[in-house]
Amino acid sequence: MDKFVIRGGNPLLGTIKVSGAKNSALPCMAAAILTADEVILENIPQVRDIETERKLLTSMGAEVELGYGRAQHRTSIQCAVLSDPVAKYEIVKTMRASSLVLGPLIARTGIARVAMPGGCAIGGRPIDLHIKALEQMGATITYDHGYLEARSPQNGEGRLKGTHIVFDKITVTGTEDILMAATLAEGETILENCAREPEVTDLAALLIAMGASIDGAGTSTIRVQGVENLHGARYRINPDRIEAGTFLIAGAITGGDLMVDCCDPAHLGSLIAKLEQAGVRLDLGTDSIRVRSEGAGGSGSTALKAVDISTEEYPGFPTDMQAQFMALATQSEGTSTITENIFENRFMHVNELIRMGANITVTGRTATVRGKSPLQSAAVMCSDLRASAALVLAALVADGESILDRVYHIDRGYERLEEKLRGVGAQIRRMGDVFGRK
């Protein structure tokens, strides 16, 4: 298993580029199931979750072709024949977003078999809201041996029916899954209490390019007029706002001067507001943000200041930035409270940060961080994608050399993180398993 070795203490200086959004690319790849034509996606990040989705689509009969050389971020997908419309457990267990194929599969082929995802490190993560919405559209759902089988009306022969769906709770992939199913349904589907995340808007833009009729993506009510067929399209995935946000904090925490390039500042509003409140200087361009700070070395007006955050659905503060912001809070003067409202178990970075010298206590869904604490290097364990990013940030300012184990969690969602950070002055290297596998 790969590890990262990080020596802290260097301010990050220069320009760092943001890749395409993993959480847009995943539903957009699933959307290719909806047509027999070729769908070409550009700006696809080269991360493990995308690799997993390629495997998933290929296992169902899709032809997936990767670009190479200068076109390495392009992927073309053609689902001319879906000979095996099954999302197998071996693949689903490694990536919960696999449930995104449920809606498109049943809409296109009338039948879908998807392994039920178990819980994951950050919480239970059920898909009951996807299932309830599909049932409202006329699907019949049965379960056997850990698999869910969904059939469209008339035992898989008929189309799903447009209807009025109100999600009990805001769900990002739930909104995306049902939006895809609705594009090929009979009549109009009205979706209420939808997720407003930019990734939903990204998916809707691709679906519209494929011939879907969708109104209101990015708001809480989306209307879809079902069509009989969708066609191929070429679409460029938007930049990853969470990767961009992670780099903004990397610049701020290390006392750097960093240009975060190829991002969309409009998608980072709540994080930008909190960073400014914390005393970080940000200059917004059209597709870049320059971040400057004195880091933990600042004092008086240049000191990093404690701020409170509370995670919410978009446009609120993203749960996917909570762990990284907590790393910053350890270097800020004063007491910050950080409340996690989206997932029940997303504080796994806390104990590792404490092992590095942070002063954090957790009560229920709220962590109280008392700063600033000098951090010490340590051997720490990555647990999920964003928790691991927080440990990288902490290690960048820790005194000495930290070793981060299980970096495959980072590889799921950050493209070549160590190379990008090294390019702006971080001392970070990847180390293979020294002793090899037994």
Residues that bind ligand EPU (CB under 6 A): 23, 26, 96-97, 123-130, 169, 171-174, 195, 199, 319-320, 342-343, 385-386, 413
Nearest approach in angstroms of CB 48 to ligand EPU is 12
Nearest approach in angstroms of CB 365 to ligand EPU is 11
Closest CA to 133 of 191, 199, 188, 86: 191
* Sequence-separated (6 or more) residues with CB below 8 Å from residue 220: 192, 193, 194, 196
Nearest approach in angstroms of CB 225 to ligand EPU is 25
> Which of 120, 194, 262, 382 is flagged as catalytic?
120
Annotated catalytic residue 120: yes
Choose between 346 and 372: whose C-beta lies nearer to ligand EPU.
346
Scan for tokens 């995306």, then name that residue: 176
Nearest approach in angstroms of CB 357 to ligand EPU is 26
Would you mind telling me the total number of residues written for the chain in this entry?
A: 438
157-171: burial string, b at 16+ Cβ within 10 Å, e else: eebbbbbebebeebb
Going by their DSSP bridges, the two strands 140-144 and 221-225 should be labelled as: unpaired
Judge contact between 339 and 366, C-beta under 8 A.
yes
Nearest approach in angstroms of CB 169 to ligand EPU is 5
Three-state secondary structure string covering 352-408 = HHHHCCCEEEEECCEEEEEECCCCECCEEECCCHHHHHHHHHHHHHCECEEEEECCH
* Sequence-separated (6 or more) residues with CB below 8 Å from residue 265: 272, 284, 285, 286, 287, 288, 289
Residue 120 has φ and ψ, to the nearest 5°, of: -140, 180
Choose between 341 and 427: whose C-beta lies nearer to ligand EPU.
341
Choose between 314 and 378: whose C-beta lies nearer to ligand EPU.
314
Here the tokens at position 43 are 């700006």
Choose between 305 and 406: whose C-beta lies nearer to ligand EPU.
406
Nearest approach in angstroms of CB 127 to ligand EPU is 5
E-strand stretches of 26-159: 38-42, 63-66, 75-78, 86-87, 111-115, 140-144, 147-151
Nearest approach in angstroms of CB 190 to ligand EPU is 19
E-strand stretches of 118-157: 140-144, 147-151
Choose between 169 and 429: whose C-beta lies nearer to ligand EPU.
169
How far apart CA 163 and CA 50 sit, in angstroms, is 32
In Å, how far are 45, 91, 93, 372, 417 from 53, measured between CA atoms?
A: 12, 8, 12, 41, 20
Rg, Å, the chain Cα set: 22
Choose between 47 and 289: whose C-beta lies nearer to ligand EPU.
47
Here the tokens at position 136 are 């409202």
Choose between 199 and 294: whose C-beta lies nearer to ligand EPU.
199
Nearest approach in angstroms of CB 327 to ligand EPU is 15
Give the amino acid at 1: M
Here the tokens at position 341 are 């409202």
How far apart CA 397 and CA 7 sit, in angstroms, is 8
Choose between 33 and 259: whose C-beta lies nearer to ligand EPU.
33
Point out the residues that are catalytic.
Answer: 120
